[in-house]
Structure 1
Amino acid sequence: MAAAMGFFLIVLSAAVSIANAKSLPNYISICHRSNKEELIKCGLKNTVDVQPHIANGVPEINVPPMDPLTIPEIKLQQGTQAVNYKCTLSNVKVRGLSQYKFVDIDSEMEGKYYIRGKVSLPQIYLDADYEIDGKVLLVPIKGEGLYKGNYTNTIADINIDAELVDKKGKKYLNAKSVTAKLEVGNSAGSFENLFSGDSTLTQATNSFLNENSKDLQKEILPAVEEVVAQLIKQIINQVFDTLPYEELFPK
């Protein structure tokens, strides 16, 4: 989830351009919407040029520090036969997002309005306070404490479709549909203090989940992708509301 959020912020920094160049850092180019090929080329250049600065954030375009990326809270819940649980992650810290590499990017802001991109993240580290209760892969899991995760070769694929809406006599962009797809190469995680600190059950549960990580990903990723898409839609519409379309994407 954090990987997708981080990816979204990188795409946004690459694709969105403010009309007043003085408000942008000198390493970010303004990308004009009239020529799709040039818009994409400019966006890709920005993803490279912004990379050395992304860890500390780019406040001029509202990109927060991303290495580590801090997320106050994530709530997950599923109710299928294989996975039936409620989980809250708080004080989430994600490391490794600044080492991204774009596999593909596509955008159009003239007649059609969308941002699409695929990015590779070689190594992601996550730690958070957790609280979980339920069953995962039919195995009971319950506890609260510290969670640490390590994810390799993650691919995040985000699609944002937008439309123009009238506000205060001007045209603004509005994200009407957002989808997120995640692929994770290998993953390993550790829940501390499961089952009221029972070390034997904690070790056995962590071993089982790591040994069956591929099956776990298959069951849990749809819920993660749905939450990511909702968060991205909320955030990008806040960005779109700040300036009219003509100023966000000058011709």
Structure 2
Amino acid sequence: MARCCLLFLVASAALLQVASAKSLPSYITICKRNNKDDFAKCALKNTIDVQPHIGSGIPELSIPVLDPLTIPEIKLEQGSQAVNYKCVLDNVKLHGLSNYKFKELDAGIDDVKYIKGKVFFPSVFVESDYEIDGKILLVPIKGKGLYKGNFTNTLADIDIDCELVDRKGKQYLAIKEAKVKLDVEESVGNFGNLFNGDSTLAQATNRFINENAKDLQDETLPAVEEVVEALVTQILSKVFDALPYDELFPK
């Protein structure tokens, strides 16, 4: 679930450079790439300066309402021995994303181009319609209803490699590879209406999942991270395609 958290915060750090100076909100600083250390400090300062505004969205930067962030659909599927399931989440709402804190933020601006960062979220609340069928830690799970979950102290580690590509005589930034690692200190969730409303089975299954949350994360997070990587690539590619590199990150 936490995958959506970092998607829009990684995007926002890059989006700070997209608009021209005339269209940028007054609380955003243009960051120039002539000095790597100054560029990183400027980008980090922007993540702080936009925080009071980002929850309600920043149209100038194409940043949607972030608190809550609404995702129409998320599909998760895994087929390991311990965890084998298919899950569809509809009308996903994530609360608490605007309370982020960048622990680290770095960007390569010379020959090797990259975006790296660590983003911390103290508390994220998720609610969504769901449909799931399969096994989690060898325990059967099947149902359709409302899911609610609390995720405490989540750290997202982001590593994106980029390159320059030529288009119509101009250079644009493109993503070569995006890697995301998630670490969730504590999670508690509830799948409503499991097993067609069988309260005994539902309570036992939800209790088992919460009691074994850490082991479950070890099994499920790799699949979630793959989805995050694909989404980060999709969003940032649109940002990078908007303007040539020299306009996105001026000297």
TM-score, normalization: structure 1?
0.97
Contact 1:89 1:130 in 2 (8 A): yes
Matching residue of 1:83:
83
Q: Which amino acid aligns with 1:248?
A: L
Q: Which residue of 2 aligns with 1:12?
A: 14
* AA in 2 matched with 1:124: V
Look up the match of 1:116.
116
Paired with 1:175 and 1:89, the residues of 2 have a C-alpha distance of 28
SS of structure 2 residue aligned to 1:215: helix
Query: 1:24 corresponds to which letter in structure 2?
Result: L
Q: Is the 8 A contact 1:18 1:30 kept in 2?
A: no
What do the CA deviations read for 1:215-241 (whole angstroms, capped 9, x no partner)?
011100000000100111111111111
1:197 and 2:197 aligned? yes
**For residues 152 and 7 of structure 1, what CA distance do their matches in structure 2 show?**
17
**What is the CA deviation profile of residues 109-144 of structure 1, one whole-angstrom value per residue up to 9, with x for unaligned ones?**
232211111011000000001010000000000111
Q: Is the 8 A contact 2:128 2:147 kept in 1?
A: yes
Structure 2 residues not aligned, in runs of 5+: none
Under a length normalisation based on structure 2, what TM-score does the superposition of the two structures give? Answer: 0.97
1:53 equivalent in structure 2? 53
Alpha-carbon distance in 1 for matches of 2:95, 2:243: 31
Deviations along 1:171-211, one digit per CA (max 9) or x if unpaired, are 01100100000000100000001111111111110000000
**Alignment match, 2:92:** 92
Q: Which residue of 1 aligns with 2:105?
A: 105
Shift of 1:5: 1.7
Aligned to 1:31: 31
Q: Which residue of 2 aligns with 1:235?
A: 235
What CA distance in whole angstroms lies between the structure 2 residues aligned with 1:17 and 1:128? 33
The runs of at least 4 consecutive aligned structure 1 residues that moved more than 4 Å come to none
Question: How big is the shift at 1:101?
Answer: 1.1
Q: CA deviation at 1:19?
A: 6.5
What SS does the corresponding residue of 1:22 show, helix, strand or coil? coil
SS in 1 for 2:174: strand
- CA–CA separation in structure 1 for the residues paired with 2:18 and 2:196: 52
Q: Is residue 188 of structure 2 the alignment partner of residue 188 of structure 1?
A: yes
CA distance in 2, matches of 1:118, 1:50: 17
Query: Quick one: distance in 1 between partners of 2:206 and 2:12?
Result: 33
Note the residue ranges of structure 1 that are not aligned, 5 or more in a row. none
Overall identity of the aligned pairs, in %: 61
Aligned partner of 1:141 in structure 2 is: 141
**Amino acid in structure 2 at the alignment position of 1:64:** P
Maintained 8 Å contact 1:27/1:49: yes
Cα separation, 1, equivalents of 2:46 and 2:109:
17
Please state whether the residue corresponding to 1:26 is helix, strand or coil.
coil
- 1:32-91 deviations in Å (ceiling 9; x for gaps): 111000100101110110000010111111111111011111111110000000001110
How much is the aligned-residue C-alpha RMSD, in angstroms? 1.1
Match of residue 3, structure 1, among 2, 5, 10: 5
* Partners of 1:6 and 1:69 within 8 A in 2: no
Question: Do 1:87 and 1:131's aligned partners in 2 also have CA atoms closer than 8 Å?
Answer: yes
Counterpart of 2:155 in structure 1 is: 155
- Partners of 1:208 and 1:6 in 2: CA distance: 32
Cα distance in structure 1, aligned partners of 2:34 and 2:26: 22
Matched pairs, number: 249
Letter in 1 for 2:222: P
| Structure 1 CA distance for aligned equivalents of residues 14 and 195 of structure 2 | 42
